[in-house]
Structure 1
Amino acid sequence: MLALLYPGQGAQSPGFLHRLPDHPTIASTIEEASDALSLDVGTLDTSEALRSSVAVQITLVVAGVALARRLIEAGIEAHLHAGLSVGAYAAAVGCGSIAFGDAVRMVKTRAELMERAYPSGYGLSAIEGLSEAQVEALIDATMSAQGERVYVANVNAPRQIVVAGSDAALAAFNERAGAAGAHRAKRLAVSVPSHCELLQEASDTLLAYAANIAFSHPKTVYIGNRRARALHRGEDIRADLATNMRYTVRWFDALTTIVERGATVVVEAPPGQVLTDIARLAYPNLTALAAASFADDRLVDVVRRRVAGQP
């Protein structure tokens, strides 16, 4: 059974759209997004463009949908879809809950709201080597000492936690995390404090915007961000997408749900590799493939063989 995983902000790298396979399905997906947004999506993956969360979020969703469509065109359809943060929008398109044009317009609105709320001075840090409980305890201690709070944004793995906050709060927290035994405490290439209550107002605005977008019950399984469980109704997927910017993303729980539902092969959409690494470490018997690591169009043949149980 195949599951597609769609990475979130931080996975981007300059030129990644132009490294996608040269295939008509991928080209038409980029063109469709450009038409829906009335802009040239192919120009959004430059180093300069990717300084904006708007460009990053749009291009990640486009790349994810392009991968899903390329596999379908080759006769390979995923049974489960899960995306981390903005990757959830590609997952919602992949499972058939929302039209692609509506998804990229909603993503553009999402990113604009996030940037408008926090144009500078905020972001995310990845903490490796501490558990969620240890991070929470350290957050309380750091807030008491510094007066500024950070928030648990993502639980990517049992000892890979992402926190959100201001630049000053993150700098203080990273220093304390290192002293507390973290293997690494590093700022991510994200310029907004995602997945915490700082974005409550922006989330409420996006939820009101999304009320006018048509959502269908998914044709295949969609795994939500907030509770890491399968969502079977279009309105539940709408809420998951619109509100995931203000709630902790429990990615490791979502991965566990995917495995419990019978997935034997997971493929991470471009340009990500982190979700693949997490899956390989946590579930060694699971075949985990990062699409970005395959040159040209070789991924299709590899996925077809692995889903069929062949080496």
Structure 2
Amino acid sequence: MRKIAFIFPGQGAQYTGMGRDFYENFDRAKEVFAIAGKVSGMAMEELIFRENDNLHITKYTQIAMLTVELAILRVLEEKGVTSSVNAGLSLGEYAALTASGGLSMRDALELVVKRGKFMQEAVPTGGAMTAVMGLDANTVETICEETEGIVSVANYNCPGQIVISGEEKAVNKAAEKMKEAGAKRCMPLNVSGPFHSRMLEEAGKKLADELEHVSIGELTTPYISNVTAEYVLDKEDVKGLLEQQISSSVRWQQSVELMAAEGVDTFIEIGPKKTLSGFLKKIAPQLDSYHVETVEDMEKLLEILKVDVK
């Protein structure tokens, strides 16, 4: 019997047309798009399926990504595929929390609309993010601590790939030091702000105010927090963790390592592109991983899992 984890990607994997075949072939997916449209006041089909500049602007990207991830998730569930644990990278944590029963679909979509807006508004001038390749975490952390200004680890993606974030001058200076320390490459990221750094704390505070009006449901399936890389056992902890998540490091590698240690042997990435599947090959290459982005992907998965197609 497989022990399955559903994992959900974050911002940056979006592209025009993502999720279209699920939308066109499954009423359950259309329902998700309709709810997202009502929540956001936007025609999600226009945002996601037609070429436009908005799809890559944070406050629109986040609702678009979550809509597609939840649409695919709901169809998978309808087909009988279930998980033992859920996790998502950054924005993807909202899909994971929904899959675990902690958030209703409507609440998740409403929160992400506001999260994207708050993050966009909080983006200060002079922020930057850089991917550091080929340097160990301890060295990256030490250099960040020793660099003047605001710079810290934003993402522990996988062995040999860590993202730093903060003030542009501090990020650039830290990247220079990391090259001197042996980094193979330091690649500036084309992002609209210093995400997952303390420069985004104000966005977290605004999100906390919104979370006061949201009911967190019982966690019917465990999920793992980006902030702690641990199972969230008490629903009362969820709101505080979501507030912290905006400005805290995303401990993705540690999250996958925990799931592997707890017996997860099959990872199913739900959503556009194969970012997390790529990380998995470096974190836990011995484990099975699958990616569901299209209906064809799902059909192949169903065949492998021997789940009857309804």
Q: When the two structures are superposed, what TM-score results if normalisation uses the length of structure 1?
A: 0.89
Partner of 2:10: 8
- The Cα shift of 1:262 comes to 2.1
Partner Cα distance (2:290, 2:78) in 1: 19
Q: What do residues 118-165 of structure 1 show as CA deviations (whole Å, max 9, x unaligned)?
A: 15432322111111111122224442xxxx331111111232111111
> Deviations 1:170-192 (Å, cap 9, x if unpaired)?
33333443343222222234212
What is the DSSP-based 3-state SS (H/G/I as helix, E as strand, rest coil) of the residue aligned with 1:178? helix
Equivalent position of 1:156 in the other structure: 157
Counterpart-to-counterpart distance in 1, 2:272 and 2:179: 29
Q: 2:97 aligns with which of 80, 89, 92?
A: 92
Amino acid at match of 1:207: A
Report whether the alignment pairs 1:36 with 2:44: no
Asked whether 1:131 is paired with 2:136, we answer: yes
CA distance in 2, matches of 1:121, 1:31: 37
Give the secondary structure class of the aligned counterpart of 1:223: coil
Q: How does 1:1-311 map to 2 (within 5 A)?
A: 1-18=3-20, 22-24=24-26, 25-45=28-48, 46-118=51-123, 120-143=125-148, 148-292=149-293, 296-307=294-305
- Does structure 1 retain, via aligned residues, the 8 Å contact 2:145–2:152? no
Give percent identity, aligned residues only. Answer: 27
In structure 2, relative to structure 1, the CA distance for the partners of 1:21 and 1:127 (3 Å cut) is: farther
Change (3 A) 1:71 1:153: same
Gaps of 5+ in 2: none
Q: Deviations over 1:226-282 (max 9, x none)?
A: 111111232222222232012111111111122222222111122131211111222
Tell me which amino acid in the other structure corresponds to 2:297. Answer: L
1:196-226 deviations in Å (ceiling 9; x for gaps): 2222222122112101101111111111111
Please give the alpha-carbon distance, in whole angstroms, between the structure 1 residues aligned to 2:272 and 2:96.
Answer: 15
The TM-score with structure 2 as length reference comes to: 0.89
Check whether the contact 2:166–2:198 (CA below 8 A) recurs between aligned residues. Answer: no
* Offset, 1:299: 2.4
> Tell me, which stretches of 5 or more residues in structure 1 are unaligned?
none
SS at match of 2:24: coil
Residue 106 of structure 1 and its aligned partner are, at CA, apart by 0.8
Larger mean Cα displacement after TM superposition, 99-108 or 7-16: 7-16
Deviation at 1:26, TM superposition (A): 2.0
Distance across 2 between alignment mates of 1:78 and 1:195: 28
Report the CA distance between 1:16 and its aligned residue. 2.5
For 1:308 and 1:282, locate their aligned partners in 2 and report how far apart those are by CA, in whole Å.
Answer: 27
Q: Secondary structure at the match of 1:165?
A: strand
